Structure 1
Amino acid sequence: MTRFLLILAMALSVGSCSSVDVARYADQQPALNLEHFFSQPVKAWGMFQKRSGEVVKRFEVDIVSRREGNNLILDERFQYSDGTRQRRVWTLTPEGQGRWSGRADDVVGVAKGQIAGNTLHWRYRLNLPVDDSTYEMSMDDWMYLMDEDTLINRTTMSKFGVEVGQVTLFFRRQGAGASQ
């Protein structure tokens, strides 16, 4: 019984450490407006690290967006350091009060997001191809607007509640309207 209580206490303490409320960032500026940030082409650079810290993949992403009715469509084209390519098209829908939902072909169900101040917090499940297999990963995705043209993203990937790695990504707006 003592062993069970110890394991339960450890599990609860790990879970409680990993949960930050996005509302904590409500006063942070500049305020993130997804439609404005993605109103012109965006270039992003990122890397995937195993939980040990080893970088196993680097990548660049070109993102173009468009409006379809109430939806914001993000067309992402990835180029990985191993030469592989990938495309993901997000359909983002505002749900009111800073809440967003998102869908993409490799997202399981619906991504749920909340904006507060300069921060967007997404949670979703992603089908991740690795070699000849596909794994369903839980994604805990935090995006922080640094200035009008720069967004930093940090994502924790987990399987069965155990962290398997992290993605770090830097977005920069391109084009004539971007600050230099």
Structure 2
Amino acid sequence: MNQHLYLKSFAAIVFTLFLLACSGPNVQQYANEKPTLDLSEYFSGTIDAYGIFTDRSGEVKKRFTVLIKADWKVVDGKKVGTLDESFDYSDGTKQKRIWTLTEQSPGKYIGRADDVIGEAQGDLAGNALNWTYTLALPVDGTIYHVQFNDWMYLVTPKVMLNKAKMSKFGIELGEVTLSFYKR
């Protein structure tokens, strides 16, 4: 085998491995997992959440709690939910975010909030929901547009776990880990 062909083959293998390393789970692989997540059922009423933000080294930078008041109605034949979130951070700061979630078709959702750039895209199957969106994140007086890849897993009818990776220009900045408890 000549050296040029060997190098091309090696480069192709490295590139394939790189692509496989970058790929993540597909929500459809959770289609048969139970309990089945129904967003309008779970995010209805009052939900408490407890979370941390860790930087890319794994160090906890912030702890926080969230009180969520949620309800749904049918608008133009589509389920539309409002999630009113009140954040209390360990450094004493507070934040408010109000999500409007709309079911586009079974298992497909869009979400909007004032600090979300464009629309969040949500895919649901079985016990899992994957949200992808860009958030306008304030840090020390500057607003950064940060991408979120957000995974939620219903563990019991009352408990859901959430793990979100934050990145900018494809570089991982950190993770948000949350546990939700439906009252």
TM-score normalised by L of structure 1: 0.89
Matches within 5 A, 1:139-178: 139-174=148-183
Flag structure 2 segments of 5+ consecutive residues without an equivalent: 1-6
Q: Letter of the 1:66 partner, please give it.
A: D
What is the number of equivalent residue pairs in this alignment?
A: 171
Show the counterpart of 1:88: 97
The answer to which of 134-143 and 16-25 deviates more is 16-25
Task: Give 1:66 deviation, angstroms.
Answer: 2.0
Counterparts of 1:121-132 in structure 2 under 5 Å? 121-132=130-141
List aligned pairs for 1:108-119, cutoff 5 A.
Answer: 108-119=117-128
State the secondary structure of the residue aligned to 1:56: strand
C-alpha RMSD of the superposition: 1.9
1:70-100 superposed Cα distances (whole Å, 9 cap, x missing partner)? 3100000000000000000000000112000
1:10-60 deviation per Cα after TM superposition (whole angstroms, max 9, x unaligned):
676445324211100000000000111112200000000001000000000
**Partner Cα separation in structure 2 for residue 146 and residue 117 of structure 1:** 11
Equivalent position of 2:61 in the other structure: 56
Q: Which residue of structure 2 aligns with residue 22 of structure 1? A: 27
* SS of residue paired to 1:147: coil
* In structure 1, distance between residues paired with 2:55 and 2:107: 32
Matching of residue 106 in structure 1 with residue 103 in structure 2: no
Give the Cα separation in 1 of the matches to 2:140 and 2:14.
34
Q: Deviations over 1:104-126 (max 9, x none)?
A: 00000000011000000010001
Tell me the secondary structure at the aligned position of residue 23 of structure 1: helix
Q: Is the 8 A contact 2:151 2:163 kept in 1?
A: yes
Larger radius of gyration: 2
TM-score, normalised with respect to structure 2: 0.87
Paired AA for residue 182 in structure 2 = R
Contact 2:44 2:72 survives alignment (8 Å): no
